[in-house]
Amino acid sequence: MAALAASVLMLATGALLGCGAVEPEPASDVATIAEGLDAPWSIAFHDGTALVSERDSARILEIGDDGSVREVGVIDDVAPGGEGGLLGLAVRGDELYAYFTADGENRVERCTISGDPGGLMLGDAETVIDGIPSAGTHNGGRIAFGPDGMLYVTTGDAGDRDSAQDLGALSGKILRLTPDGAVPDDNPFADSPVYSYGHRNPQGIAWDADGTLYASEFGQDTWDELNVIEAGGNYGWPEVEGIADDDDFVDPVQQWSPDEASPSGMAVTDSEILIANLRGERLRVVPLDDLSAESERGIGDLGRLRDVVIAPDGAAWVLTNNTDGRGTPLDGDDRIVSVPVTG
């Protein structure tokens, strides 16, 4: 995208923006893709064009090469409130999948995408899975297609802690479905969409080149987690939080204090796991060849980070989330920025 080179983020230092907020100062190789977004939550790509969900407006936005923002459509039946609303997006061929909070439930729907860039349109919606418990908090909401072609869905415990250990409940889980919403024959529990359980509020999933699935998860007061997901694995919540050294549960490979993390969306390159942190306000980096190590990618003071994805140009696109009611919006928030990656 040649237009991106002209979009390098030029932000004045020391310019006060009300309430004492100061304009961010990102690294020189960080470029602005788009700005002026309202509580954005997820980025997905359709034939090289970025689509973004807005949690409270229920809008699907198309991002142009020049940074323009265009409304593609509004997802019907979204009932925003608290952490709920229009959340994760995933694209498969000419279909857009969306996870959202409706009246009394979370659900995943899909619709066709038609038209050309600058004029994309959404077709009628079809339910993929519904009946996922919802609440003002802990709705999970990340969806992605794995290398096996299956749809993976993260669900939070919706405030019902014990449901995360209940294999009959859809909450507190990572679900695995066919693209049509059926239960794959090789799921770990017969006739169940449950792939792993014992999760509190997972909001990031991604795979490495070997097909290993990683997930980021919000803890409560003690530890946030990075987990390697095994089919049928029990990740402990609410019995344990963080590393427990208990053979009944799968321990995380990394854990962090929630005030330094609150990990949401994540992406995997050939060499690194990139994790967007909300309260921690940082892009955390975990090397694939040493999952116990970590560092941070310098992107400047951009505030809360909700999602990170690998764009078609190979860069990481990072989505800020300062307008979600918990951040301090800066001029231009919320925004998408592009960050170089290694590997």
pLDDT of residue 60: 98
- Domains of the chain, residue spans: 32-335
Is residue 5 within 8 Å of 32, Cβ to Cβ? no
Q: Under 8 Å CB-to-CB from 172, ≥6 apart: which residues? A: 155, 156, 157, 158, 160, 161, 163, 164, 165, 166, 197, 198, 199, 200, 237
Distance CA 42, CA 309 (A): 9
User: What is the residue-level pLDDT of the chain in tens, covering all 343 positions?
Assistant: 433 333 333 333 333 333 333 444 455 689 999 999 999 999 999 999 999 999 999 999 999 999 999 999 999 999 999 999 999 999 999 999 999 999 999 999 999 999 999 999 999 999 999 999 999 999 999 999 999 999 999 999 999 999 999 999 999 999 999 999 999 999 999 999 999 999 999 999 999 999 999 999 999 999 999 999 999 999 999 999 999 999 999 999 999 999 999 999 999 999 999 999 999 999 999 999 999 999 999 999 999 999 999 999 999 999 999 999 999 999 999 999 999 998 6
Query: End-to-end distance of the chain based on CA atoms, in angstroms?
Result: 20
pTM to 2 decimals? 0.92
Which pairing describes strands 59-63 and 69-74: parallel, antiparallel, or unpaired? antiparallel
**The pLDDT value given to residue 11:** 31
Give residue 178's identity as a one-letter amino acid code: T
Q: Side by side, which strands form the sheet with 283-287?
A: 263-268, 272-277, 283-287, 295-297
Q: Is 162 helix (H, G, I), strand (E, B) or coil?
A: helix
pLDDT at 29: 85
CATH of domain 32-335: 2.120.10.30
pLDDT the model gives residue 32: 96
The answer to whether 96 and 76 are in contact (CB under 8 A) is no
DSSP string, 83-147: TBSEEEEEEETTEEEEEEEETTEEEEEEEEEES-TTS-EE---EEEEEEE---SS-----EEE-T
Q: Which residues of 263-295 are buried (b: 16+ CB within 10 A; e: fewer)?
A: bbbbbbbeebbbbbbbbbbbbbbbebeebeeee
